[in-house]
């Protein structure tokens, strides 16, 4: 443990909230009361914050951390501060947690294991400083000169950083009443990096009136009937709240309008919304009042007393405050089994506390639920009782059927996620100043609910939101579960992933990316994504007229279509890059034709990427398999996934190949893409015929751009692999798997092999998916593909997985879009991170948010229905309403007859795969995509 002298003295005046509740008020704590630090042990005698030797509380905070670590059975923090850590650069991740040492401890521990050293706890304002931001004028960068950083396995170290390290993500305890809240909020104000929360946002979340309005108006959740009085001047609310259950009255003179108040109170108490209730509560609301519990309760009939209580409260009304009169919503009472003993039963109330985070793709995700039970006379306080689970609480409440409890849990999840979505949307409309900085957003949110009975049905009533209390309750529930052998919950993992992900997004901002090959319309998403991530794209592209030219930082037209000369092209590209004075941080390609060139350029620039030799092996299909066949180490060896195949350069090769490859076989282009020119052949004769046609029709790139003809039109003959077809999209860093997603393909249309349908997540059970992922990873590694995002196509037959081909680039067509939609992470961002040399943080336990099923549309089959029949317009309109996902592969019909490529992928989502398939089929039938020649029902029937 560090000596006191190591913890520098407080240098900043600690701003305190304007109004601290009096001890009497605290004692009288009612519904929202929080006992600060209730998670901690009693402080040892004499060693309390405010002790003269510890003016900023850092020593005390450090001791609280030690005690919390000790309780977890973890080693104490190692004091390494004497030897400063140096060398933190622009690619090092720093997630900084300001303030309380305990609220985020499980998140710090989890983050420390996921990204050792990246999570840093700052316990004192003197450990950090603010400097004007270089990247965002007017904003500040937060620099850490000291902190407790977390490593694998719960090890932590007190470290000093010389020069100070820059935070990529900042969050902390910003609650107005928190002892650390003041300085933490001050340090986090107006930063240039993503900031999870701020003082103004925390105050908003603690303002009952504002949040109740958002919950009721935007999330359409039931809230307790509420009558609110505010000052006329109050600007953060609309003039009229047109929300069921919430009425707003603006007062010019809070002291002189007693008759108006009496009138409003009378109308409210006698109104229909109040009919089911008998008790009301009067309380001042606004962030200053939160946690004070100041309130009075009355019976509904006592109108005069209620009005008097309201008027009394109005006397001190300030602009940020309000006075609320609301119904006391009793917890639903269900018929309980007859008592086993004659002892009286106490009436009790249930409060449901939920914690959410802004997850991948900014989607609200419920992380945990914890319930509290208390006496019914006054609302249940946070922190007054030990938390318990939702399921057992509902059971105790008399919800007997497990299916009913499950249904309630699902409803609760939907309600919480709607609540967060509404709050985030409202937040997004605030000015940077109102948010406490351009980059400040709520990333962690607590929402409390009651289980009420409305019209004889159970109803979840949203009570309030908070910035910290639900987190503390849920963290406690997690810790308690472990004591009885419950497996660790998702909470720390989800929060740590959300924070690390945001930090990584900040890391890529402003980075110079040399991109080789722009790709076609199917890659149009790249340009918008690059802008959103703040990437500076320097694009090398063969088409000098490419539409992306105006969308990038630097456009470097260079014709590399003759790929047999990639070595030479690489030299020219390097010269171009040098002559423009560019110094890219990363170089990559997602375009099949350009992967070898990109690897050569990477090598030339000394940047992270796969070796050109590895990419060449992967790019050439027969070489991939022949190479794997020689890889005989491992259990099973990579050779187990390879398939017999032979190269065909002329008709003379056909007989020899036919001797080595059994029929039926597949004849296809060595460097092909998009399934063009792939054909099932039954014998050598058919192989000759197919080769003759192909060599006649497809000679160079101009004959069919984008399918690898720049490497020539050599072919291969490959054993036909039976089984179901799958794509595995992998993210590999330094040979280590960091993410994998398996999708399924429907039947292909033989004798050509055009893809017809696909679904995500895969229908396969986890163990079969695991086989595919492992096979894909071993094949990549055996080929030397150790860094990047790869798309591996395999079939899964009775004998296990067999490789079709490795695409040493991000998955094409709809894959990036679908994976983002279903699982959250972005393959493009992952590819950029790997290329920068940063291992991407991806969900450790990917959980699908929906199911997608899609079909491919062909120009030849669907051109008429889509263009002439108005089908495309209808699809666009449905897309606008979120009812269909479209991924355009080509602007117009690509290739014809035998060489046709799909035009468009049309997909529907659903809570289950069956639902997605039914919706898709209905759509295809209505739009004429389904036909006897294109039997969509048959294609989808494979997804069972």
Ligand X SMILES: Nc1ncnc2c1ncn2[C@@H]1O[C@H](COP(=O)(O)OP(=O)(O)O)[C@@H](O)[C@H]1O
For Mg ion, the binding residues (CB under 5 A) are 793
d(CA 562, CA 566): 7
Q: Which two tokens stand for residue 930?
A: 């389904």
200 binds, among Mg ion, ligand X, none (CB under 5 to 8 A by kind): none
Q: Which two tokens stand for residue 97?
A: 């947690």
649 binds, among ligand X, Mg ion, none (CB under 5 to 8 A by kind): none
* Interface segment toward ligand X; rule CB under 6 A; list 348-356, 713-721, 820-828, 871-879: 713-721
d(CA 552, CA 673): 26
Q: Which two tokens stand for residue 821?
A: 């939609």
Q: Which residues in 655-684 contact ligand X (CB under 6 A)?
A: 666, 668, 672-676, 678
Asked if 721 touches ligand X (CB under 6 A), the answer is yes
Continuous segment of H or E residues that includes residue 217: helix 208-217
Task: Reduce the DSSP state of residue 814 to 3 states and report it.
Answer: coil
Asked if 838 touches ligand X (CB under 6 A), the answer is no
Task: Reduce the DSSP state of residue 179 to 3 states and report it.
Answer: coil
Identified binder of ligand X from the candidate list 321, 448, 497, 725, rule CB under 6 A: 725
- Comparison of 219 and 645: residue with beta carbon closer to Mg ion: 645
Cβ(542)–Cβ(560) under 8 Å?
yes
147 binds, among ligand X, Mg ion, none (CB under 5 to 8 A by kind): none
Tokens 């990579």 label which residue?
A: 638
- Comparison of 66 and 748: residue with beta carbon closer to ligand X: 748
Tokens 């690898």 label which residue?
A: 708
DSSP 380-439: PPTTSS--B-HHHHHHHHT---HHHHHHHHHHHHHHHHHHHHHHHHHHHTS-HHHHTSTT
Q: Which residues in 727-766 contact ligand X (CB under 6 A)?
A: 748, 753
- Report the 10 Å Cβ neighbour count for 818: 26
- Comparison of 169 and 753: residue with beta carbon closer to ligand X: 753
Q: Which residues in 592-631 contact ligand X (CB under 6 A)?
A: 621
Cβ(792)–Cβ(807) under 8 Å?
yes
d(CA 593, CA 566): 10
Asked if 808 touches ligand X (CB under 6 A), the answer is no
Identified binder of ligand X from the candidate list 139, 804, 852, 856, rule CB under 6 A: 804
CB burial string 161-175: b at 16+ within 10 A, e below: beebbbbbbbbbbbb
Task: Reduce the DSSP state of residue 942 to 3 states and report it.
Answer: coil
Q: Are strands 440-441 and 512-516 parallel, antiparallel or unpaired?
A: unpaired
Closest distance between Mg ion and the C-beta of residue 793, in Å?
5
- Comparison of 39 and 618: residue with beta carbon closer to Mg ion: 618
740 binds, among Mg ion, ligand X, none (CB under 5 to 8 A by kind): none
- Comparison of 391 and 793: residue with beta carbon closer to Mg ion: 793
387 binds, among Mg ion, ligand X, none (CB under 5 to 8 A by kind): none
Largest CA distance in the chain: 104
Sign of CA dihedral 816, 820, 823, 829: positive
898 binds, among ligand X, Mg ion, none (CB under 5 to 8 A by kind): none
First and final C-alpha spacing in the chain: 59
674 binds, among ligand X, Mg ion, none (CB under 5 to 8 A by kind): ligand X
Tokens 């059975």 label which residue?
A: 73
Residue number, nearest CB to Mg ion: 793
Tokens 């990109």 label which residue?
A: 598
* Interface segment toward ligand X; rule CB under 6 A; list 232-240, 715-723, 886-894, 910-918: 715-723
DSSP 45-87: TT--TT-TT-TTSHHHHHHHHHHHHHHTT-PPPEE-TTS-B--
- Comparison of 727 and 826: residue with beta carbon closer to ligand X: 727
d(CA 602, CA 610): 8
773 binds, among ligand X, Mg ion, none (CB under 5 to 8 A by kind): none
Closest distance between ligand X and the C-beta of residue 928, in Å?
26
- Comparison of 621 and 820: residue with beta carbon closer to ligand X: 621
d(CA 56, CA 614): 56
The contact pattern for ligand X, residues 778-797, with x = CB under 6 A and - = no contact, is ---------------x----
408 binds, among Mg ion, ligand X, none (CB under 5 to 8 A by kind): none
d(CA 612, CA 589): 13
Q: Are strands 512-516 and 586-588 parallel, antiparallel or unpaired?
A: parallel
- Comparison of 25 and 793: residue with beta carbon closer to Mg ion: 793
- Comparison of 350 and 804: residue with beta carbon closer to Mg ion: 804
DSSP designation for 786: -
721 binds, among ligand X, Mg ion, none (CB under 5 to 8 A by kind): ligand X
Asked if 806 touches ligand X (CB under 6 A), the answer is no
- Comparison of 55 and 712: residue with beta carbon closer to ligand X: 712
Asked if 898 touches ligand X (CB under 6 A), the answer is no
- Comparison of 133 and 941: residue with beta carbon closer to ligand X: 941
- Residues at the site binding ligand X, with contacts judged by CB under 6 A: 621, 643, 666, 668, 672-676, 678, 718-721, 725, 748, 753, 793, 804-805
């Amino acid at each position: 443990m560090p000596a006191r002298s190591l913890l520098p003295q407080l240098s900043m005046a600690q701003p305190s909230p304007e109004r601290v509740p009096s001890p009497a008020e605290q004692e009288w704590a009612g519904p929202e009361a929080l006992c600060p630090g209730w998670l901690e042990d009693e402080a040892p005698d004499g060693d309390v914050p405010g002790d003269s030797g510890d003016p900023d509380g850092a020593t005390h905070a450090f001791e609280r951390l030690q005690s919390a670590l000790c309780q977890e059975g973890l080693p104490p923090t190692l004091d390494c501060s004497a030897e400063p850590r140096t060398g933190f650069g622009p690619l090092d991740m720093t997630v900084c947690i300001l303030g309380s040492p305990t609220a985020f401890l499980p998140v710090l521990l989890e983050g420390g294991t996921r990204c050792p050293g990246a999570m840093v706890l700052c316990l004192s304002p003197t450990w950090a400083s603010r400097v004007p931001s270089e990247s965002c004028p007017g904003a500040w960068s937060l620099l850490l000169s000291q902190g407790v950083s977390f490593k694998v396995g719960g090890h932590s170290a007190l470290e000093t950083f010389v020069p100070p390290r820059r935070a990529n993500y900042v969050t902390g305890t910003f609650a107005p009443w928190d002892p650390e809240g003041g300085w933490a909020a001050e340090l986090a104000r107006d930063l240039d990096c993503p900031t999870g929360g701020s003082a103004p946002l925390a105050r908003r979340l603690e303002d009952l009136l504002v949040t109740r309005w958002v919950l009721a108006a935007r999330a359409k959740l039931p809230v307790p009937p509420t009558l609110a009085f505010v000052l006329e001047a109050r600007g953060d609310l609309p003039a009229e709240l047109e929300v069921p259950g919430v009425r707003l009255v603006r007062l010019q003179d809070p002291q002189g309008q007693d008759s108006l108040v009496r009138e409003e109170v009378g109308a409210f108490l006698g109104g229909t919304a109040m009919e089911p209730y008998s008790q009301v509560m009067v309380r001042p609301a606004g962030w200053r009042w939160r946690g004070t519990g100041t309130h009075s309760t009355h019976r509904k009939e006592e109108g005069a007393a209620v009005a008097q209580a309201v008027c009394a409260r109005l006397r001190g009304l300030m602009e940020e405050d309000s006075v609320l009169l609301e119904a006391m919503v009793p917890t639903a009472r269900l018929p309980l089994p007859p008592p086993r003993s004659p002892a009286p039963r106490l009436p009790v109330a249930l409060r449901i506390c939920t914690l959410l985070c802004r997850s991948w793709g900014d989607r609200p995700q419920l992380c945990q639920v914890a319930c509290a039970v208390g006496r019914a006379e006054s609302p249940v306080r946070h922190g007054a009782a030990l938390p318990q689970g939702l399921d057992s609480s509902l059971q105790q409440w008399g919800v007997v059927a497990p299916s009913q409890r499950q249904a309630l849990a699902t409803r609760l999840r939907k309600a919480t996620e709607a609540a967060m979505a509404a709050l985030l949307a409202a937040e997004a409309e605030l000015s940077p100043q109102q948010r406490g900085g351009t980059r400040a957003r709520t990333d962690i949110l607590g929402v409390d609910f009651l289980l009420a009975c409305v019209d004889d049905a159970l109803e979840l009533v949203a009570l309030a939101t908070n910035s910290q209390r639900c987190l503390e309750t849920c963290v406690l529930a997690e810790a308690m579960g472990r004591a009885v052998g419950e497996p660790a919950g998702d909470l720390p993992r989800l929060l740590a992933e959300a924070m690390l992900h945001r930090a990584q997004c900040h890391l890529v901002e402003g980075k110079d990316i040399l991109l080789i090959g722009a790709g076609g319309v199917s890659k149009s998403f790249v340009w918008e994504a690059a802008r959103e991530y703040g990437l500076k794209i320097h694009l090398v592209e063969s088409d000098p007229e490419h539409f992306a030219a105006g969308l990038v930082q630097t456009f470097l037209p260079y014709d590399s279509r003759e790929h047999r000369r990639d070595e030479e092209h690489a030299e020219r590209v390097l010269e171009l890059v040098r002559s423009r004075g560019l110094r890219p941080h990363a170089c990559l390609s997602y375009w099949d034709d350009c992967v070898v060139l990109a690897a050569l350029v990477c090598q030339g620039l000394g940047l992270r990427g796969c070796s050109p030799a590895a990419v060449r092996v992967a790019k050439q299909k027969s070489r991939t398999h022949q190479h794997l066949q020689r890889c005989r180490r491992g259990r099973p060896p990579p050779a187990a996934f390879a398939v017999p195949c032979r190269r065909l350069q002329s008709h003379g090769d056909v007989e020899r190949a036919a001797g080595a490859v059994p029929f039926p076989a597949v004849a296809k282009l060595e460097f092909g893409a998009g399934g063009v020119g792939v054909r099932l052949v039954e014998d050598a004769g058919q192989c000759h015929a197919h080769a003759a046609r192909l060599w006649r029709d497809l000679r160079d790139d101009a004959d069919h751009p984008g399918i690898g003809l720049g490497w020539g039109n050599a072919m291969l003959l490959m054993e036909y692999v039976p089984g179901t077809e799958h794509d595995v999209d992998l993210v590999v860093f330094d040979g280590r798997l960091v993410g994998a997603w398996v999708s399924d393909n429907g039947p292909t249309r033989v004798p050509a092999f055009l893809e017809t349908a696909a679904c995500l997540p895969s229908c396969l059970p986890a163990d079969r998916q695991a086989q595919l992922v492992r096979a894909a990873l071993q094949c990549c590694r055996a080929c030397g593909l150790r860094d990047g995002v790869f798309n591996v196509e395999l079939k899964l037959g009775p004998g296990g997985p067999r490789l079709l081909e490795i695409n040493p680039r991000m998955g094409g067509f709809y894959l990036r879009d679908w994976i983002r939609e279903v699982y959250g992470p972005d393959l493009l961002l992952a590819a950029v991170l790997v290329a920068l040399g940063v291992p991407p943080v991806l969900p450790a336990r990917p959980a699908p948010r929906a199911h997608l099923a899609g079909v491919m549309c062909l120009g030849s089959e669907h051109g008429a229905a889509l263009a002439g029949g108005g089908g495309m317009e209808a699809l666009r309109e449905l897309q606008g309403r979120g009812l269909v996902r479209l991924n355009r592969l080509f602007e117009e019909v690509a290739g014809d007859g035998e060489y046709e490529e799909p035009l468009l992928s049309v997909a529907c989502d659903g809570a289950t795969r069956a639902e997605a398939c039914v919706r898709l089929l209905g759509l295809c039938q209505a739009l004429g995509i389904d036909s006897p020649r294109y039997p969509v029902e048959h294609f989808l029937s494979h997804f069972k």
